[in-house]
Chains A and B, each alone.
Chain A
Amino acid sequence: MSKDLTYLEAIREALVEEMRRDPKVFVLGEDVGAYGGAFGVTQGLYEEFGEARVVDTPISESAIVGISIGAAMRGYRPVAEMQFADFISCAFDQIVNQAATLRYRYGGRASVPIVVRAPSGGNVGGGLYHSQNPEGWFVHRPGLKVVAPATSYDAKGLLKAAIRDDNPVIYVEHKYLYRRAKGPVPEGDDIVPIGVAATRREGNDATLITYGAMVTPSLEAADRLAKEGVEVEVIDLRSLLPYDKDAIFRSLEKTSRVLIVHEDIRTLGIGAELSAVIMEERFDALDAPVLRVTYPDTYVPFSHVLEQANLPNADKITAALRRLAEY
């Protein structure tokens, strides 16, 4: 049994089902209560679960995560909402120094089962502080897990996995997909395991590695290349930390060519790391340099013209794939 849900509805369904299943799960954040969240993700939760489990907080991102850590120390599984991923910088210390290090400095005697939901990404006219993709900061921090679903199915399954995971998980949900992505979501428990990529399209000529809102333009570009006789395999990472190295290697051993596409900025980003690992461990399998299409090293401007100039899209990805195929 499955039904079609938007990406946003899928996130909400995961929250509701997990809160019904486990009384230790609760949500907290700014406007998540009766208002239902800035984007409406938590709509209906307050009515069903009450203010003790749907906790409206002051504008205090650091405290939202700190409170989550405290609750986790007592066996709870809080799901903290950052109203926008951009605001996660205010909670940076609690995430990277408090939560991420805790198990290590406790000698393995405790864990921090919290989820921090981070509504991320551009292409929504949000400007500098409502459009950021902060995942690159957090994949650089051992002790954290980072996931970034691209479909409704994964939005639900990965959030369930994140809530049940005993580690702190940054759940990067792309705002552009909230109401634009819609697809089948199974009813009930269908967990998408953290650390496992999905192959969205098979092909033998090049491997395209991406995630989040970049999956759709990547598939579009792959379709264009198919018309030119180049079959591109598109891998949706789904999890960024840990990422599915096996899936990447399996594909590139077949195709010998790799393009990495992400909306996060370029320098020392996820693409840089994947490229380095591929060259260190599978250099012999490559027939071409690993290429990247990313956001440039700049901010997200408010002007539609400027933002579109910066965003990776099907045209830019197509051009990069053609370059890759020419090697």
Chain B
Amino acid sequence: MPPIKRTKFKLAPEQLLEMYYWLKLIRAFDERLSVLVKQGRVRSGVYTGIGQEAIIVGTCFGLRKEDYICPLHRDLGAFLMKGVEPRVMMSQMFAKTTGLSKGRDSALHSGVPELGIFGNTSMLGANLPVAAGLGLTYKMEKTDNVVVAYFGEGASNVGDFHEGLNFAGVQQLPILFICENNQYAYSVPIEKSMAIDDVADRARGYGFDGVAINGNDVLAVYQATQGALARARGGEGPTLIECKTYRWHGHSEHDKAFYRSDEELAMWKSRDPIPTFTTYLRTRNILDDQKVKDVEARVTGAIDEAVEYAMNASDPSAEDATTDLYA
């Protein structure tokens, strides 16, 4: 593994509490969506990232508005952290006109240019060449803004991964390639899709560094991100950060995930990123029972409001099925 310079960082207690809030909000949002699918209120298109929240929080925390993110289908939290209102994301999942795509697609296939969010298609890895294009414009403009592009270990087997990362390496583009290695591409485990252990090793083939880290440790993710951001902003090109993690639910909410054992799931649940971080905050007296209660009330309030708003929002009308095809 090539050495990645360890970056010192200092986060104020209120920043750490904000991280905690985001972890809790993203977890609760996905959990609520899971329930809404079971209730038949949200039809489909729900791919939760439960268990993977530390990656989103650790990478998105402190990004600039001008930075661009290219999230994948489990990264609803990245939309929230980059500034999309929970009620808008909930509307998106309810296929309402108040959602990002006005009911055209319930999944995370939409984006918001003014917030620096590029929504990918279902073709995994297809966002990586797009990330390279975004990064190329920052290089052209000689700004120090960056692109943070997400992909799964499964998508690292797609041709677009190679084309996107190769171009980023050649051009030394300011991009963080964040691999969310959750061990399964739908049902196919990593050992059946890759002949190496670490996606991070692939970076070397493109002329930049890759590092594999514990993706369930929000501060480890944050630290690695800060190091890579400093390099990218300083014109030193891309970095690949492979975050080892695990998705608790199936590929989609309809997938019972029979392809993995209860023991494996239990082992990964014991590495839940939220209690780990909670313990860290409590031992430093940043978090106490009252603050936990406050955060949980805030989270529940935000999600209740979002659901209420989305349920009462209007459905698209039939003619919306054929509009917005052309500018």
Binding site for B on A (CB under 8 A): 26, 52-53, 55, 57-58, 60, 62-63, 65-74, 76, 78, 93-94, 97-98, 101, 103-111, 113, 142-143, 145, 165-167
Contacts and interface: CB of A to CB of B under 8 A. Distances in A.
Interface stretch (B54-62, B163-171, B230-238, B291-299): B163-171
A245 to B, nearest CB: 16
Nearest to A110: B113
Contacts of A111: 327
Contact of A63 (B102, B111, B113, B129): B129
A105 B134 contact: no
A167 B122 CA distance: 21
A58 B326 contact: no
Interface string B118-146: 11011100101111111111001000000
Nearest to A242: B326
B242 to A, nearest CB: 21
Interface residues of B, number: 41
Interface of B: 68, 99-102, 104-105, 109-113, 118-119, 121-123, 126, 128-137, 140, 159-160, 163-164, 166-167, 170, 323-327
B313 to A, nearest CB: 13
B324 A66 contact: no
Given A106-B110, A106-B111, A107-B324, A70 B163 contact: no
A73 B117 CA distance: 10
5 contacts: A60-B167, A70-B129, A103-B327, A104-B325, A142-B325
A142 B326 CA distance: 8
Contacts of B119: 105-106
B41 to A, nearest CB: 21
Contact of B132 (A53, A67, A72, A109): A67
Which of B102, B105, B129 counts the most A-chain CB atoms under 10 A from its CB? B129
Given A62-B126, A67-B136, A104-B325, 11 more contacts: A58-B166, A62-B163, A63-B160, A63-B164, A63-B167, A74-B68, A101-B109, A105-B109, A105-B110, A111-B327, A113-B327
A103 B128 contact: no
A100 B133 CA distance: 17
B218 to A, nearest CB: 28
A71 B160 contact: no
Contacts of B118: 70, 73
Contact of B133 (A68, A108, A113): A68
B55 to A, nearest CB: 22
A97 B132 CA distance: 18
B133 A71 contact: yes
B130 A106 contact: no
Contacts of B111: 73, 106, 110
Contacts of A113: 327
Contact of B326 (A66, A73, A103, A105): A103
Contact of B167 (A67, A69, A145): A67
A67 B325 CA distance: 21
Contacts of A70: 118, 129-137
Given A106-B100, A108-B323, A66 B123 contact: no
Contacts of A66: 126, 128-130, 132-133, 160, 163-164
Contact of B104 (A58, A67, A107): A107
Nearest to A141: B325
Contacts of B131: 70
A98 B130 CA distance: 9
A68 B135 CA distance: 11
A63 B99 contact: no
Contacts of B132: 63, 66-67, 70
A67 B327 contact: no
Contacts of A67: 129-130, 132-133, 136, 167
